[in-house]
Amino acid sequence: MRFLKRLLIGLVLLVVAFATVVWFQPDDYRLTRQTVIAAPAAAVFAQVNDLKKWDDWSPWAKLDPNAKVTFSGPQSGPGASFAWDGNDKVGAGTMSITESKPNQRIATRTDFTRPFSGTSNADFVFSESAGQTNVIWSMSGRQNFIGKAMCLFMPMEKMLGPDFERGLAQLKRVVENR
């Protein structure tokens, strides 16, 4: 009986300690990757600004070939949007272009509904020099308690960093081969 009481107190203290560590994790996250593409900014911008072209380079596009994807709004630029619903690897949600400055910047908002609900914002910044374009892709957002707990075991850098790197490499390949 005494052992069970001590065990229970120990478990409660462990849960409280874990919850405290999670609570003090940062609420905000930011992930950034960049690459240089041997093409003018206009060529890179056109590939990112048209959501239907994302299938050619997005690191998530091929994870579920049977995902249901629907486009709405204009084909490109602000208001262009797509919704997806796929397997556990891609989940479900919507993404919209919120800002588009030709050959300079594209901003998006993504609302995830599955496997977890959440919102993130992404930016693509293009800067051209000597016929090459530096592309910076960043994503930021806020994490709830569950998100912060998950990131203790699988940090955002490890979870999404490789996807961003693969996406930029595929974008580079697509644009440079055109």
Instruction: Give the pair of three-digit tokens for residue 142.
Output: 């806020």
With respect to CATH, is domain 28-176 assigned 3.30.70.20? Answer: no
Please give the single-letter amino acid code of residue 33.
Answer: R
Type of residue found at 55: D
Extents of the domains making up the chain:
28-176
Tens digit of each residue's pLDDT, the chain (178 residues) = 888 888 888 888 888 887 888 788 878 888 999 999 999 999 999 999 999 999 999 998 888 989 999 999 999 999 999 999 999 889 999 999 999 999 999 999 999 999 888 899 999 999 999 999 999 999 988 887 777 777 677 777 787 889 999 999 999 999 999 8
Residue 103 and residue 163: Cα distance in Å, rounded?
23
